[in-house]
Each structure stands twice: as C-alpha cells, then as structure tokens.
C-alpha cells in the first residue's frame, strides 16, 4: 500500500493580478507577485493576508505508478478527511483532475478560524517517489479577495514538474 507523508497545513488566495514563477527542486508554479514568499527544504508558500498558495513535497515510501491510481484514491480520500478533522472542518467530495499532465486528486475543506470561515483547497499530485501537495487557502466570501479563485486556479494550471 502506498504510504503518504504527513500533511502540511498551508494553502490559496488573492491580491495582485501579476504573477511570478516560484521554483523548487523539480517543480515550479505561479503565485501573485505582491505576496510574501517563504521557503523551507520541503515547501514554498506565498501569503497575502488570510490567503496563501503553497507547494509542499513529501517523499513516498514506495514509488507511485499510474496503474495504482484506483488503490490510491481511497487512501487520498482518507487523508483529506483526516485533515478536515484536524481543522475541525468539513471536506467536500474529492475530484480527479489533471495537473502537470497527470491525474491528481483535489479536495475543498471548509473550516472556521478566528471568527471567520475559510476554504482550503488541497490537490495531491503523485510522481514516482514524490507527493506534491498544492494548497490554496482563502477567507470564504471575502469581498476584499476577489482574485482568490483565480489564484487557486493559477496554482493548479501553472504547476509544472521538471
């Protein structure tokens, strides 16, 4: 069975329409240019207020192969449910999407923090011995973050593996 790395809590949002490319080892993605960027050995995160986009990389115990997808989906569903529990939120049904030319699994988790409601979108991209977690967080219904959805969409559409 495929064993996934621990989850990192980070995530998606808005503010600037210009984008800049952020690059990590073997991957890149676009984030709004005015956002504050922080890097660790495993992740890159861009933040603006309550909104954030990030990519975190975990090493898998066993290599993922596309033919394992039917066995991996229920495991990813369980990981998303555990994350929602940790956030004391609710997770919607997962969806299989295409990111960087491969099948990926995307979830939306709604949770409350500091008297506000947030949405965290997490997408799992598996490539060999690596798991890439694309996260996007924004305040639900925030009128001051009209580009939150485009920033989330840009994260998934601009993510590239090298």
Tell me the pLDDT band of 114, cut-offs 50, 70 and 90.
Answer: confident
* C-beta separation of 15 from 32 below 8 A: yes
Domains of the chain as residue ranges with CATH: 19-161 (3.40.1000.10)
Q: CB neighbours (10 Å) of residue 96?
A: 11
pLDDT at 142: 58
- At 40-86, the pLDDT tens digits run 999 999 999 889 999 999 999 999 999 999 999 999 999 999 999 99
Residue 111, helix vs strand vs coil: strand
Average per-residue pLDDT in the chain? 86
Over 50: is that where the pLDDT of 13 sits? no
CA distances from 128 to 10, 67, 132, 160 (A): 23, 12, 11, 15
Over 60: is that where the pLDDT of 9 sits? no
Global pTM reads 0.85
Tell me the pLDDT band of 8, cut-offs 50, 70 and 90.
Answer: very low
């Amino acid at each position: 069975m495929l064993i996934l790395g621990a989850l990192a809590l980070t995530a998606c949002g808005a503010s600037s329409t210009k984008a800049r490319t952020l690059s990590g080892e073997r991957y890149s993605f676009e984030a709004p240019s005015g956002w504050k960027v922080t890097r660790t050995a495993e992740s890159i995160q861009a933040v603006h207020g309550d909104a954030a986009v990030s990519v975190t990389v975990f090493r898998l115990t066993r290599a993922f192969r596309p033919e394992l997808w039917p066995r991996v989906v229920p495991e990813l569903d369980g990981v998303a449910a555990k994350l929602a529990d940790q956030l004391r939120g609710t997770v919607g049904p997962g969806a299989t999407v295409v990111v960087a030319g491969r099948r990926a699994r995307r979830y939306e988790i709604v949770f409350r923090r500091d008297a506000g409601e947030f949405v965290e979108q997490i997408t799992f991209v598996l490539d060999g011995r690596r798991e890439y977690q694309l996260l996007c967080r924004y305040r639900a219904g925030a009128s001051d973050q009209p580009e939150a959805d485009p920033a989330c969409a840009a994260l998934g559409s601009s993510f590239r593996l090298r």
